[in-house]
């Protein structure tokens, strides 16, 4: 049950990230990937979450609460 809660939090955070950075196309451009790649995400992949966290607006823990971050 806890995993479902964390997964739902991660999905909601993806929506926040997309809104913050102006949508999937803009986020894809920031990350140097294609917009279709972003649109396929259910959850932000771990490496992409790390990249996004480097902008300083979100932490890895916020973006992917289901992962253990050292």
The per-residue pLDDT for 70 is 64
The per-residue pLDDT for 69 is 67
Distance separating alpha carbons of residues 70 and 54, to the nearest angstrom:
15
The per-residue pLDDT for 66 is 85
pLDDT one-digit tens code per residue, 2-49:
788 988 888 899 999 999 999 999 999 999 999 999 999 999 999 999
Is the backbone of residue 57 left (phi > 0), alpha (psi -120 to 50) or beta? alpha
The per-residue pLDDT for 26 is 96
Domains and CATH numbers, the chain: 2-63 (1.10.260.40)
- Own/partner pairs for 17-24, CB < 8 Å, 24+ apart? 17/44, 17/52, 17/58, 17/63, 20/57, 20/58
CB 69 within 8 A of CB 62: no
pTM of the predicted structure, to 2 decimals: 0.87
Q: How many residues does the chain have?
A: 70
């Amino acid at each position: 049950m806890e995993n479902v809660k964390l997964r739902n939090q991660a999905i909601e955070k993806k929506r926040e990230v997309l809104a913050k950075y102006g949508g999937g196309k803009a986020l894809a451009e920031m990350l140097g990937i294609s917009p279709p790649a972003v649109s396929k995400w259910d959850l932000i992949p771990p490496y992409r979450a790390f990249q996004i966290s480097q902008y300083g607006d979100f932490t890895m823990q916020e973006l992917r609460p289901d992962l253990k971050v050292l």
